[in-house]
Amino acid sequence: MSEPQVVIINPSPKLQFMSDPKRVSAHRNTMQMPQIQDSINMALLNYQRELFARVNDANGSAAAGLKLKGALEFVDEFLRLAEAPKPHADSPKSAQLDHKV
């Protein structure tokens, strides 16, 4: 017997993206191109330079740091958009703890 198919009523944007194998393959190929990696790195460096050039005080420095963190998180998400999530290797096999140890 075949297993029942799970229907996701409100899929995440990533699941919607990954529903098209051609799009996933094209994205993976694009992200592996050295030109894309170089362009992303240079854009991030320029963004960092412009952000911190306008900093005048500690609050501005904190705000710039948070903006840069957001930019790095976006790039990470963009690069991994076509990758399926993987379970952590160190996650326990059972949620039950052995308290006798």
* CB neighbour list of residue 41: distance below 8 Å, 6 or more residues apart: none
Total of domains in the chain: 1
The domain of 44 spans 34-81
**Contact call for residues 18 and 82 (beta carbons, < 8 A):** yes
Residue 3 belongs to a domain: no
pLDDT at 101: 67
User: Rounded CA gap, 37 and 43, in Å?
Assistant: 10
Residue 94 belongs to a domain: no
What is this structure's pTM? Answer: 0.72
* Averaged pLDDT, groups of 10, the chain, 101 residues long: 69 90 95 95 97 94 96 96 77 65 67
- Nearest CA among 88, 87, 80 for reference residue 17: 80
Residue 87 belongs to a domain: no
Residue 25 belongs to a domain: no
Residue 23 belongs to a domain: no
Residue 73 belongs to a domain: yes
Residue 24 belongs to a domain: no
Residue 88 belongs to a domain: no
pLDDT at 86: 75
